[in-house]
Structure 1
């Protein structure tokens, strides 16, 4: 990704998230008041998710702002990793909210309060509209950034919550079964947990400098040895600074009679960039392996 494209990408993410943040922050106040007045745990659960939406979007915006800072003498790779820290925090925040809602629902199932279903329905319907707009803003960009994906997941879970609350309000109005409110709150919490775990796992993999999920190390190795002049490789490392910014370092043993290192390097760069999306690489060329046991070693 070129510097100009990277700036446009970050700016696009920032614009979308600012609008989504303004919408969710505004409606958060309405939903909290509505949840208290109607005594609906499902609505309060939805408001809690809306709070995490607002927090997540705020953190994501801060992360984008920090990530735009240029590299310096202390941060030679720049501040891209801050976006992953934000995504990890958002995942942990979702875990906490889901646990609280399930805990609160347990006690409410024993003694369900009287629910004002009409007010509950109206507030949930407004929340659904807000979530649909926010999802529309974030959906196009959530596939390329864990930071945006974390915010998108927050909004997506809240959208499902709004649908659940609407369904619950309708059922309570016609059946007067108040326990439905708590049951829906629990279902919302359980629905969010596995998706939150996926986000957290992806974030931790980047923080631990693991191989990105969409990079097959065996295929990378197979492509490397197919380049004319390459005899073997070792000390291969592949990791990501942040979403979509994959880096590689390795030692390559080559035969100068077939190709020189100057001829092999641009071929490797093209192959690794086009086939695996690796944007930054450091390659050390050797006529013989730097240690007897190094040949074809992936670590």
Structure 2
């Protein structure tokens, strides 16, 4: 028996992200990166150079995020039936991964500089870190609202937020070096920045990986879905269940339902609408694909390995 697919529009009313604020943030970060690279080389500050490296990763991540926003707006086609709806999830994965890669590079550099400390021109470090705080702080405010809408914008937001905090740490280090000549604080602060990047990036990497691997969202229990559908009269068994998240707004459910009687197609359509409303309002699932069965000899387990 073929699948009866019901396409539902619940949960797709999130405001669209335009990407305009991302473009502004990209330009600001290019400016910051250029000034910090020059300033880091002149001053000899590793923390300033590490901040510049992070800013450069910000530029790349923001560009990736912007491309993903543009792609996600493209319509579906015969060869791309879902369109590019997963572009932003891929961007979130790439950006969170780069956060961790950058952190590992910073840890390596911090250890080397800690073993071989160097004198740093603190005045330049202080002024450039203030520039970084101002520019990144403005960028954070620009995209904060959009960061609640999807993982892609959240990944861009985290890059900018951590870089703003990194600039704060660099400023503190510059002040300590200027007034107390504590030069070992430069690699120590770099190490703190790196560990914070790992901390911030890991959760987002884990979340985006779950979506890409077609895992069920953490908020959903499969047995609860089955119990919900089993409440409907004439439903005998729910099995062969698949639940996955296509993107930030769409959660899909696929299942086989064994009916206790040989119902008419018109009756099934009515039951399908009832299932749809139940799983949406109770579990926030907005796309369902149900295969109806009656007396079919197949595996009746809830989860079946295809």
Same fold flag (TM > 0.5): yes
The question of whether the paired residues in 1 share the 8 Å contact of 2:72 and 2:88 is answered with: yes
Over the aligned positions, Cα root-mean-square deviation in angstroms equals: 2.2
Change (3 A) 1:165 1:289: farther
Task: Tell me the residue number matched to 1:120.
Answer: 125
Aligned positions of 1:42-61 closer than 5 A: 42-61=47-66
The question of whether the paired residues in 1 share the 8 Å contact of 2:10 and 2:280 is answered with: no
Give deviations 1:124-144, integer Å, cap 9, x for gaps.
111112222222222222233
Give deviations 1:48-92, integer Å, cap 9, x for gaps.
111111110001111111111111111111111222222222122
Equivalent in 21, 35, 43 of residue 38 of structure 1: 43
* Partner Cα distance (2:239, 2:188) in 1: 55
Q: CA deviation at 1:197?
A: 1.8
What is the number of residues matched between the two proteins?
295
Instruction: Name stretches of at least 5 consecutive residues in structure 2 with no aligned partner.
Output: 1-8
* Partner Cα distance (1:129, 1:213) in 2: 37
SS in 1 for 2:251: strand
Task: Tell me the residue number matched to 2:182.
Answer: 177
Change (3 A) 1:297 1:88: closer
Equivalent in 19, 25, 32 of residue 20 of structure 1: 25
Task: Tell me the residue number matched to 1:86.
Answer: 91
Give deviations 1:146-201, integer Å, cap 9, x for gaps.
11111111112112211111111111112101110110001100111132122222
Equivalent in 214, 230, 234 of residue 219 of structure 2: 214
* Higher RCO structure, 1 or 2 (CA under 8 Å, sep 6+): 2
* Partner Cα distance (1:215, 1:20) in 2: 35
SS in 2 for 1:191: helix
Give the TM-score normalised by the residue count of structure 1.
Answer: 0.91
SS in 2 for 1:284: strand
Give the TM-score normalised by the residue count of structure 2.
Answer: 0.89
Task: Tell me the residue number matched to 1:266.
Answer: 273
Equivalent in 280, 283, 287 of residue 287 of structure 2: 280
SS in 2 for 1:252: strand
Instruction: Name stretches of at least 5 consecutive residues in structure 1 with no aligned partner.
Output: none
Q: CA deviation at 1:5?
A: 4.2
The question of whether the paired residues in 2 share the 8 Å contact of 1:289 and 1:295 is answered with: no
* Partner Cα distance (1:46, 1:136) in 2: 19
More helix by share: 1
